[in-house]
Amino acid sequence: MKLEMTTGVEGVAFAQQSVQMTCTDAVTIGDVVELTLASGKYEACSMAEVGDITPEIIIGVVAEDTAAGAKGMIILSGTCKVKCDSEVTAGAVLRVSGDHAGQLDLLAVPGANADSYVKCVAISLAAAAAQSALTSVIFDGVQGIACATDSA
């Protein structure tokens, strides 16, 4: 994740890094997608499924409505708006939802499932207003957000 330094009392901004790639599914702004590795490159993405929570999966956020098979802009890191579960609160650590495809959700309580390690990909900057609501987050779908936990 790249930091953008600001002056004065404005704080720290997180620069957005994005790529253009083919979306195999029709997607809309804020959908969470999984990048597809093929022939040694990530050239496409598809809607993130509920099981896409392990560290080796690279996650992105859709920046523009994109038809299936078309090229769209995918955010890989930075501050952005993403579809979240209704339980998301401000300051929460988030992962790909285990209940709703294409969304982020709260990281479960540590120790809930010692056999499953998840990739934390965001910190919410606000509470989700409703199910699938676009919610401001600090996002990093490549490296993830540092958190030491095991969860389901």
Per-residue pLDDT tens over the stretch 61-113? 999 999 999 999 999 999 999 999 888 999 999 988 888 899 999 876 555 55
Q: Per mean pLDDT, which range of 28-32, 107-111, 114-118, 124-128 is the poorest? A: 114-118
50 DSSP 8-state letter: T
Pairing of strands 32-38, 41-47: antiparallel
Contact status, residue 79 vs residue 125, Cβ threshold 8 Å: yes
Residue 14 has pLDDT above 60, yes or no: yes
Residue 114 has pLDDT above 50, yes or no: no
Interatomic CA distance for residues 48 and 104, integer angstroms: 10
Please state the φ and ψ torsions of residue 69, each to the nearest 5 degrees.
Answer: 85, -5
**Residue 129 contacts by C-beta under 8 Å, 6 or more apart in sequence?**
135
